[in-house]
Structure 1
Amino acid sequence: MRVVEIENYTITEVFVGDDERARGYIVTDKNNNEFLYFFDVDRTEFKLTSYDVKENSQQLIEQINLSEKWLVSDMYDFIKVINDGNIDGGPANQIQRIRYSYGSCVNGRRGVYQAHFFLGFQITDWVRTIDENSPTGQQATVGCNELYRLDRSISAN
């Protein structure tokens, strides 16, 4: 079992049965050992499920094997990612986060894209952000000099 510390967090591998690879990761507060998150990496069904203890919420990301980060991260071996320093520039002090990016400005508007990050490592590809107010599921857009919203913690939803 491997354990790694990053910023204020301790990440510990979790094994199931005789598995040779970690099935999940427990994230605790390094200062008080408080259990904060659990991440289940299902490398057979290609799903990543996160559970936020404080918010009592979970999030499912499917088809993780299709992400460009799948092979680079040795199939989401988060301990290896952290030990190798393969952080994508996201804020490592935030456990799970959505970051936004923008397309080119056309006719005074630009499209909004989003990706999910775990401790600074990008775990999904950039995808179109769907406008929450659009009845037809249109992509969110903003003015050329506007922000859609600030990057946000997943649990803040």
Structure 2
Amino acid sequence: MGKDKLYGHVKETRNRSKFLEFCRYLSVDEVRIGVARPDLSGRVIERGLLRALGWSPGHRVDIYPHGEMLVIASAVAGRHVVGSRGELPLPASARHMCAIAPGQPLLLAALVSHDLLVIHPVSTVARLLANLHVEVIGSGYVG
């Protein structure tokens, strides 16, 4: 098969991150979506997603900035803990790296079968959707 060799169903590419390749193969049933706003201390609460992931108070997680998003993963010896009211603490350094401000809407995506929660600032979501919005405006469906 040479250069075009396939590993599973994912073709190797140079310019695409492994994370984005992984996301291409998620089924709709594996992803649950929620919206939350961080409080002044940087905590977010989205109990429905935590319940879908099976993360109860005391569950340990690690939080990793990845581009303009935060990836939260279960970790036996995780540095962060789901709070008693189901709140997730987002460290100040991670919030700063992803330009997350208190009160700013965040899109949360629970990748249930992979035990991950990905947090996207609404500014990133708006930018990703911009091309679709331009299509709608240019299609004649809108005023």
User: Is TM more than 0.5 here?
Assistant: no
Give the number of the structure with larger relative contact order, counting CA–CA contacts within 8 Å between residues 6 or more apart: 2
Measured against the shorter chain, the TM-score band is under 0.3
Structure with greater strand share of residues: 1
Structure with greater helix share of residues: 2
Q: Give TM-score scaled by structure 1 length.
A: 0.23
